[in-house]
């Protein structure tokens, strides 16, 4: 019997917001999404006092699971358990938690009616937004209010806006969320206020840079060299395409 879902966790909200910008077929986007979802999970664990931050070397931070604060949510519990053996640096925690998150989170969003599948179950994580649920629009409004400087915004709303900013996709929300200098400054402040978001932004930057380098290498390998006349004549074409 499928267990009943509890309230959406922060990572579900983040994934619902960004799904339209990160198709399942986008490998580079997929790798950049892992640390963002992991940051949302860590932020949720922190909000529930399931983990705590410890000072690390050189001003860095480590994450430690609080043994007596076991989370009930299954996704949060798996992440918490991975930190139970020993504290980890935030970047290391993101790397451990992130890669397995997208599929179970998508399953939850489909069950809630927030997304609908575009491929048979088990054929991959492809899904698209179900606009009729209306929940994404509500989340956009929450993020917009936080970025506009709403006073006394709940900590969860602040964390949502900070992690969304860390994804690097915030500008894609314009005009839903106006991409102005005020918003850019505020988003940067939020990333610094929420340590999980700041770590995610660093990890996303590395993932994007790695993807760019890989693309350049692939493109360079496909170019004809001076000692490969067959390439110029079409005699050796590498991977054939019909």
Would you give per-residue pLDDT tens digits along the chain (242 residues)? 567 899 999 999 999 999 888 765 454 456 778 999 999 999 999 999 999 999 877 777 899 999 999 999 999 999 999 999 999 999 999 999 999 999 999 999 999 999 988 766 555 556 676 777 899 999 999 999 999 998 899 999 999 999 999 999 999 999 999 999 999 999 999 999 998 898 888 888 766 554 444 444 444 555 565 554 454 444 433 333 33
Distance CA 179, CA 80 (A): 35
Distance CA 73, CA 91 (A): 23
Residue-by-residue DSSP string for 189-241: HHHHHSHHHHHHHHHHHHHHHHHHHHHHHHHHHHSPPTT-HHHHHTS--SS--
Do the Cβ atoms of 44 and 11 come closer than 8 Å? yes
Distance CA 44, CA 75 (A): 11
Given this model, what pLDDT does residue 21 score? 83
Q: What is the pTM of this model?
A: 0.81
Distance CA 212, CA 229 (A): 28
Determine whether 7 is exposed, middle or buried from the number of CB atoms within 10 Å of its CB (0-12, 13-18, 19+).
Answer: exposed
CATH of domain 10-131+195-210: 1.10.3630.10
Domain ranges of the chain: 10-131+195-210
End-to-end alpha-carbon separation of the chain, Å?
47
Distance CA 103, CA 24 (A): 10
């Amino acid at each position: 019997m499928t267990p009943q879902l509890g309230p959406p966790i922060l990572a579900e909200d983040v994934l619902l917001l960004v799904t339209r910008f990160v198709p399942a077929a986008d490998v580079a986007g997929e790798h950049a999404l892992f640390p963002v979802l992991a940051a949302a999970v860590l932020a949720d664990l922190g909000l529930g006092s399931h983990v705590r931050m410890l000072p690390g070397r050189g001003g860095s931070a480590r994450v430690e699971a609080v043994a007596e604060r076991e989370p009930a949510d299954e996704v949060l519990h798996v992440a918490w358990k991975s930190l139970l053996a020993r504290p980890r640096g935030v970047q290391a925690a993101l790397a451990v938690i992130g890669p397995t998150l997208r599929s179970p989170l998508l399953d939850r969003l489909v069950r809630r009616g927030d997304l609908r599948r575009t491929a048979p179950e088990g054929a991959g994580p492809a899904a698209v937004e179900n606009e009729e649920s209306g929940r994404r629009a509500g989340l956009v409004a929450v993020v917009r209010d936080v970025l506009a400087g709403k006073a006394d915004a709940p900590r969860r709303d602040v964390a949502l806006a900070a992690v969304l900013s860390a994804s690097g996709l915030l500008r894609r929300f314009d005009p839903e969320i106006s991409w102005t200098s005020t918003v850019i400054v505020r988003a940067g402040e939020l990333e610094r206020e929420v340590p999980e978001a700041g770590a995610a932004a660093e990890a996303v930057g590395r993932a994007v840079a790695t993807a760019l380098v890989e693309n350049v290498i692939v493109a360079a390998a496909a170019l004809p060299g001076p000692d490969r006349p067959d390439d110029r004549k079409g005699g050796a074409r590498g991977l054939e395409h019909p």
